[in-house]
Amino acid sequence: MRWLLALTVLFMARTSALPDQTSTDAARALAQPYAQVGFEVLRDVTAEHPHSNAFISPTSIAVALAMTANGAEGATRDAILSVLHTRGQSTAAFNAANRALAEEIGNTAAVQLSIANAIWVQEGIPIEPAFRQVLESEYLAAAENLDFRTPAAANTINAWVAKHTNDRIKKLLDNIDPATVTMLTNAIAFKGKWTAPFDAKNTQPHDFKTAAGQVRKVPMMKRSGQYSYSNANGLESIQLPYADGTFAMYVVLPQDETRMRSFLDQLTPGSFTTLTSSLTAQKGTIELPRFTLEYSATLNSILRKLGMGPAFDTGANFQGINKMRPLQISEVRHASFLRVDEEGTEAAAATGVGIRAAAVRVEPPPFHMVVDHPFFLAIRDERNGQVLFTGMIANPES
């Protein structure tokens, strides 16, 4: 029995209502690098948990890290921008492109699509005015003060996430490191109706073989019509457009688990574009599961693997946020929601980047050791670690 992967939903607005073509081009410049980091994260997530669902928003992850990069300097900033595949851009151009992306997302009538950013700051700890200003002006981030040492802080951020994901993601954070100085959050929400809806009367139970090899019944939607489709090299692919065709879901169905792994391992923005460009208009029938899933993950290890280790280590440089104390990323948390049904698709995602005070090495005070009761000793050859003598002295004699 074949199994299906709902690979990704691409949010590429192409509305004619945009006032400035230069702004549109700036936003488009981020499409390939942000897709690249998304594919890389997806590849690593699925490699770690090959039998589990995985659903992420490359845009949400990338924008949250882009905001974070504005507070980083030196090698730390380079590492973040390298993971985002945007090294070489000027800071001004990079931030302008992210603003253009947010404005373009908010300027579509074809579907319901929104993006929101926020910066949360520990009460009583100042952050650099320039950092706050660029996030407010270029990322349209709302700034709020919080006390991260209280449980209410997580509740406040989770409420913000719920509000900006249409209540689809109710919890991004379980708790917050009390040493957190600032938290950067992004939320994105999408809701679109199929150009050609499925008729609910045609939805029937159908066997579905999971990645773990189990067979279970799922509600399978069914529709016949003309679609952009291809079947080549062990991959069956289809485009399912929303509304006026400005947005679409692409579903790629590898013939088996081996081909799935190979597809993900070779997945790049270029290979994905090649695949979508190979689709041709054909008449046929699509059967697609109706499903809802919720997903969440901590991305620390994956981002480290991709090259962002310097941002997590005690030597991280976030002087752009606060010049008085060393800071480091404590956690990058991502959560998402996806519903696919006869009418269309609803998707939401949120990303939080927590930045905490780095552990500072404290010089110990001078010691005062008084050997005034039984003690253990050992004499060891330090060249090879061989213990030559050892004992417990209970009653030393002169």
> How do residues 254-297 score in pLDDT, each as one tens digit?
888 888 888 899 989 899 889 888 989 998 998 889 888 898 99
Q: At a CB cut-off of 8 Å and minimum separation 6, what does 10 contact?
A: 35, 247, 248, 249, 250
Whole-number pLDDT of residue 2 = 28
Question: What integer is the mean pLDDT of 209-215?
Answer: 86
Nearest-5° Cα angle at 11, 251 to 63: 125
SS (H, E, C) 327-371: EEEEEEEEEEEEEECCCEEEEEEEEEEEEEECCCCCCCCCCCCCC
What share of the chain in percent tops pLDDT 90? Answer: 50
The yes-or-no verdict on residue 234 having pLDDT over 60 is: yes
Residue 66's pLDDT band (cuts 50, 70, 90): very high
Confidence of residue 5 (pLDDT cuts 50, 70, 90): very low
Q: pLDDT confidence of 211, banded at 50, 70, 90?
A: confident
Beta strand 291-298 with 215-232 is: unpaired
pLDDT tier at 11, thresholds 50, 70, 90: very low
Give the predicted TM-score (pTM) of the model: 0.86
Q: What does pLDDT average to over the chain?
A: 85
pLDDT at 30 over 60: yes
Q: How sure is the predictor about 51, in pLDDT bands with cuts at 50, 70 and 90?
A: confident
Is pLDDT at 388 greater than 60 in this prediction? no
Mean pLDDT of 111-136: 93
Q: What's the pLDDT score for residue 9?
A: 30
Lowest mean pLDDT segment, chosen from 3-17, 45-59, 132-146:
3-17
Domains, in order of start, for the chain: 1-371 (3.30.497.10)
Rg (CA), the chain: 26
